[in-house]
Chains A and B, each alone.
Chain A
Amino acid sequence: MIRSPHFLAGLRACLPVLPGVAAFGAISGVAMVGAGLSPWLAALMSVVVFAGTAQLAALQLIAAGAPLGVIFLAGLILNLRFMLYSLSISPHLQALSPRARWLAGYFLSDNGYAHTIARIASQPTAPGHAEYFMGACAAIWVTWESATIAGIVVGAGIPATWSLEFVVVLTFTALAIASIRDRAAATAAFAAGITAIATIELPFRLGLIAAAIAGVVAGVIAERWAR
């Protein structure tokens, strides 16, 4: 697998995005210790979970007093997009051994998926899509994990007066703006923001779930309207 030219091609294709992946990985490492997780637990979380946004959301929710059930729901919602990736990539991973498929299920990432699906779209009959996918995902995984650990080490040395926990909020701000690519998505974001404010009194931080549903419904309606 690792010596396959397709694996190496996938790895190489990801090179341009690695600095961005490393930056976000480092931020999430800093933010995890900023949220009060010990460095060892933060490193364990990063390797076991390998889902930056869900990790940061969970830490923010725990700080706000949400119970584990709500955090579980929020994690599922945040990771729903991976189900779409899984759906769209699975026909192209049939060549993998069962064991490699478990690995693929673990390290499917936004960038690994995006690069592979772009190759499949432009060269549908090219050989080795599965190996290419594994190469791309491996490049992202190694970069993400090493950057996160660097962030954990640095973050552990930053004094509390710097308000490092606010990095988590700003990360979600950046991600929200980046995910608004058209008017329907902007409507979804607006509806979710208003709902989140209006439902702040709900117990267990359930307002987040309400806001997610309101946002998705608003987005679907806005899209219908535009057509």
Chain B
Amino acid sequence: MGTLTALALIALLAVTSFVPRASFILWLHRVKLPTYVQRALRFVPAAVFTALFVPELVFADGALDIGLHNAKLLAGCTAIGVAMVIRNPLATIVAGMAALHLARNFLGA
């Protein structure tokens, strides 16, 4: 990534980060969000995080690839299992990375 792209990216992200946080603290003290909006926003993290990782596991070189020879899928499933049992991000990531390298080196995935 070029330096200019990176700087533009940082500036854009700064806006997306500061405006929501500062919104009610700095500008909108008296505004109240309707309850149904607050309710709906509760689902944003689960939806967005899932949408961010799932395609990375099931697509390889632009094609759907669901099988035992897909190392990233194996590693991702390992990570999901660990996350469900231990609920610790660090353990999840370590297990997933270990599974990725094991699958690549020993299963030829």
Contact = CB atoms under 8 A, between A and B. Distances in A.
B93 A170 contact: yes
Interface of B: 1, 3, 5-10, 12-18, 20-26, 28-29, 31-33, 36, 38-59, 64, 72, 75-76, 79-80, 83-84, 87-90, 92-93, 96-97, 100-101
Contacts of B9: 45, 58, 62, 68, 71
A179 B89 contact: no
Interface stretch (A4-12, A121-129, A190-198): A190-198
A150 interface: no
B5 to A, nearest CB: 8
25 contacts: A23-B89, A27-B93, A74-B48, A77-B48, A78-B48, A80-B20, A80-B41, A82-B20, A83-B23, A89-B25, A90-B24, A163-B100, A166-B96, A166-B97, A170-B76, A174-B79, A174-B92, A175-B49, A177-B92, A178-B87, A188-B46, A189-B49, A195-B51, A212-B47, A216-B41
Interface of A: 20, 23-24, 27, 36-38, 41, 44-45, 48-51, 53-55, 57-58, 60, 62, 68, 71-72, 74-87, 89-91, 93-94, 101-102, 104-106, 108, 162-163, 166-167, 169-180, 184-186, 188-193, 195-197, 200, 207-208, 211-212, 214-216, 218-220, 223
Contacts of A41: 3, 6-7, 10
Given A27-B93, A54-B13, A89-B24, 17 more contacts: A48-B10, A49-B14, A58-B13, A68-B12, A71-B9, A81-B44, A85-B21, A101-B26, A169-B53, A172-B50, A186-B46, A188-B47, A192-B48, A197-B58, A215-B51, A218-B43, A220-B40
Contacts of B59: 197, 200
